[in-house]
Amino acid sequence: MKRVLFVCVENSNRSQMAEAFARLHGGDAVEALSAGSAPSGRINPKAVRFMAELGYDLTRHASKSLDDVGGEFDAVVTMGCGDQCPWVPAKRREDWNLPDPKHLDDDGYRAVRDEISARVRQLLTEL
């Protein structure tokens, strides 16, 4: 089983969707986690709504701190949070410089969501 961690500042939008897509696309072959360097403590309602459009219930997730996750990772992906995302050791590290969708309109939010899905699929094929 591959362990993948998606990191963002608030752990309320991009990293949560990436975790969800890794679970959807990776199934039992992947342990997907997400966390934030300064977690907001909640999942953005837009993320919940736009993942529900695809049949995924994001209300089962919680906004977590990096202190809440540990162990070794096959891949750690930061979501474009620059210097605010601390270094987490992993066999593979990537930064996906994605815009934070929290203030985007519906079409913009869906575009970021769909880009995350495509990138997660690609990452999982490469692990």
Q: Which residue has the higher pLDDT, 19 or 83?
A: 19
Q: Where are the domains of the chain?
A: 2-126
C-alpha distance from residue 115 to each of 18, 62, 65, 75 (Å): 10, 22, 24, 18
Residue 85 annotated in active site? yes
First-to-last C-alpha distance (Å) of the chain:
10
Considering 81, 112, 116, 120, which one is annotated as catalytic? 81
pLDDT over 70 (residue 84): no
3-class SS of residue 46: helix
Residue 8 annotated in active site? yes
Considering 4, 5, 18, 85, which one is annotated as catalytic? 85
Write the class of the CATH domain 2-126: alpha beta
- How would residue 88 be classed by pLDDT, with cut points 50, 70 and 90? confident
Model-level pTM? 0.94
pLDDT over 80 (residue 81): no
**Tens-place pLDDT, residues 5-63:** 999 989 999 999 999 999 999 999 999 999 998 899 999 999 999 999 999 999 999 99
Please state, rounded to an integer, the average pLDDT across all residues of the chain: 93
CA atoms within 13 A on the CB side of 19: 27
- How would residue 82 be classed by pLDDT, with cut points 50, 70 and 90? low
CA distance 90 to 5: 9
Considering 5, 7, 8, 66, which one is annotated as catalytic? 8
